[in-house]
Amino acid sequence: MNPHTPRTEARIHKKVAGSYWFERFHQFWLPALFANNMVPANAHIKAGMKSPLDPSVLYSEEEYERLYHVLKPKVTFVHFLKYVLKTFKEGKPDAHWKPYHVNCCPCSFDYDYITKIETLSDDLEYVFKKLGIPANPDVSKNKRRKSVDEIYSYFRYYRGVPSTLKREIYQYLKLDIDLFGYELPKNFLN
């Protein structure tokens, strides 16, 4: 991952999410900071707030702005993974990383087709052909989507992740990895 700078992150959040950046701060950043014990007990006082911080509370945009300046968050990939692991352990994973088998229950339903994002154009072409639906697979191609090999190159982000953390995350995602035919790079869990 690129080196993190709070100022750049704030600018990107405001540019991409517009006035909703604070909701992302509420949904991801603050809980990740709490999960990694990165929120000082007096942060609310420094931010001009009366009550101690509670990551489950949705504060005002102004309060998040003040918190952002007080905390100057630097959440690394390892911090993020620890937060993800915490949500798994609490039985409350966010929809962004909740295992697919929980959402779509492939063992409970007899699906005719299961597509993957990595091969979506080919999968849709096959499904449309089987169903007799005319389609132009080039229309469905996501021009920004990378090849399967390039997607697997994202495992490089895990180079600095402790093996124990990788193994713990793997335990929660193992069924998806097995069900949908994914493979981890050799020695990934070591």
Delimit the domains of the chain by residue range: 6-77, 99-179
- Model confidence pLDDT, tens digit, residues 60-119: 988 988 998 899 888 889 999 999 999 999 999 988 899 988 888 777 888 888 888 778
**What is the overall mean pLDDT for the chain?**
83
Residue 4 clears pLDDT 70, i.e. is over it: no
- What's the start-to-end Cα distance of the chain, in Å? 21
Residue 2 clears pLDDT 60, i.e. is over it: no
Q: Tokens representing 46?
A: 């420094």
What is the maximum alpha-carbon separation in the chain? Answer: 64
- Model confidence pLDDT, tens digit, residues 107-154: 788 888 888 877 888 888 899 889 998 876 565 555 555 565 666 678
Predicted pLDDT of residue 1: 45
| Range of lowest pLDDT (3-7, 36-40, 71-75, 101-105) | 3-7
Alpha carbon of 30 to those of 5, 49, 121, 177, 185: distances in Å? 16, 15, 37, 29, 32
- Are 166 and 158 in contact by the 8 Å Cβ rule? The answer is yes
Three-class DSSP category at 14: helix
Residue type, 138: D
Q: pTM for the complete prediction? A: 0.71
Q: Of residues 20 and 61, which shows the higher confidence score?
A: 61
Share of the chain above pLDDT 90, in %: 35
